[in-house]
Amino acid sequence: MTTLSFQRVLVTGGAGFIGSNFIRSASARHPEWQIIVLDKLTYAGNLANLADVRERITFVRGDIAEPGDVRPALRGVDAVLNFAAESHVDRSLLDAAPFFRTNVTGTDVLLTEARTAGVRRFVQISTDEVYGDCSGTTRHSVETDALRPSSPYAVSKAQADERVLASGLNFVITRSSNTYGPFQYPEKIIPLFVTNALEDRPLPVYGDGSAVRDYLHVEDHAAGVDHVLHAGRTGEVYNLGARLEVAGRTVAETILKRLGKPASLVRYVTDRSNHDYRYAVDPGKAEALGWTKRWSFADGLEATIAWYTKNPGWWQEIKGSAAYRLLMQDWYGQRVS
């Protein structure tokens, strides 16, 4: 197996949840790296996520869909890791335009500029949602499966993957299952449920709560991306998953029990349209490279709950903003009584 090495890397979306955790992990693994972070600092981008590694990075505020922002950030770069994305399904159902601009146009711009700059490796961070719903079966999605996305978000990520596959660059693609952990914006299920529980607010569970997801701790996700960056075979796709399936209602009940909150805080709400009820990937291909997850769901969820409990200032500032309150009202206002 050939293992590549790098000196100067560009991490797009590095002020976001997964990107910032990857940088934290990579800074420890690769002290020789020069890390450039390109981030637009949208609602989910937060420089506070990088406070403990700020001296290790060069931060550039910019938009991956703008060549004028991307081109200077790529100077001298060996590898690009594209974490930048609009990533929330619910938001994509309200307004799909930002998803196609960032996820598709932005990826196109990055690919074009990376080719011109002579980048040696391009890593596209994708999602298991491109495979579509696996409910009604016991099978797990593999990398050669046809893509059947069912939300604007998933469609935009599938289109981005197709652009990468046709780019002719030295690339690899990772498709991860649901990722959770510290610094995750509290619109996603686990930080939303944890912070709502801490505030004694309802935990909105879609439908009957039976939709299942495979939950991967962000440190395991970061390690998987790092492994694929160095050892992945050019032109290949690698699934990253935890080999487990947890229902939404179980997530809610577990969080409430851990925090000593009443089960009555669970609110079953009107399901969203085209809701995929099961995602499950087979990560065997990545495991064959030598990557394995470290976190069990029980331990990972415990650590995540503890982080949000100990860092109320981080999430209270977000949840107190007008933009966050407007999203919750627009999305859940007619769902939660």
Q: List the chain domain ranges.
A: 8-246+272-321
What pLDDT score does 334 carry? 60
From the list 153, 238, 279, 308, the catalytic residue is 153
Distance (Å, rounded) from C-alpha 189 to C-alpha 205?
9
From the list 129, 187, 219, 253, the catalytic residue is 129
Antiparallel, parallel or unpaired: β 121-127 and 171-176: parallel
Distance (Å, rounded) from C-alpha 258 to C-alpha 184?
19
What pLDDT score does 46 carry? 95
**CA 189 → CA 37, 42, 193, distances in Å?**
27, 20, 6
The one-character DSSP state at 128 is G
β-partners of residue 2 are: none
**For domain 8-246+272-321, is the CATH number 3.40.50.720?**
yes
- Verify whether residue 129 is a known catalytic residue: yes
- Verify whether residue 317 is a known catalytic residue: no
From the list 39, 63, 128, 245, the catalytic residue is 128
User: 288: which 2 tokens?
Assistant: 């064959």
What pLDDT score does 228 carry? 98
pLDDT tens readout for residues 263-284: 999 999 998 777 888 999 999 9
- Verify whether residue 287 is a known catalytic residue: no
Distance (Å, rounded) from C-alpha 7 to C-alpha 24?
16
What pLDDT score does 52 carry? 96
Distance (Å, rounded) from C-alpha 133 to C-alpha 276?
5
pLDDT of residue 333 exceeding 90, the answer is: no
pLDDT of residue 337 exceeding 70, the answer is: no
Instruction: Give the pTM.
Output: 0.96
Mean pLDDT check: name the lowest of 7-21, 146-160, 266-280, 281-295: 266-280
Residues found in the chain: 337
